[in-house]
Amino acid sequence: MSPQTLIDCAFPGTFANVSDHLEKLSAELERNAVEAECKGDILIVLAEVLNNIVEHAYCASGEGQIHLTVHAHKQPHKNAVYIQTVDQGPPVPVDTLAAASLPNLSQDIQDIPEGGFGWFIIHSLTDSINYERIDDENRFTFCVGF
Site residues for another protein, 43-82, by CB under 8 A, read: 43-44, 47-48, 51, 54-55
When asked if residue 101 is in the footprint of another protein (CB under 8 A), the reply is: no
Under rule CB under 8 A, residue 15 binds another protein: yes
Q: Which of 16, 33, 59, 100 binds another protein (CB under 8 A)?
A: 16
Site map 110..139 versus another protein, x via CB under 8 A: x-xxxx-xx-xx--xx--------------
**Residues in CB range of 9: below 8 A, 6 or more apart:** 21, 67, 68
Angle (nearest 5°) at CA 86 between 103 and 5: 110
Cα–Cα distance measured from residue 103 to residue 107, given in angstroms and rounded to the nearest whole number: 13
For residue 60, which of 13, 96, 20, 93 has the smallest C-alpha distance? Answer: 13
Asked whether 38 and 81 are in contact (CB, 8 A), the reply is yes
- Which parts of this chain interact with another protein (CB under 8 A)? 15-16, 18-19, 22-23, 36-37, 40, 43-44, 47-48, 51, 54-55, 102, 105, 109-110, 112-115, 117-118, 120-121, 124-125
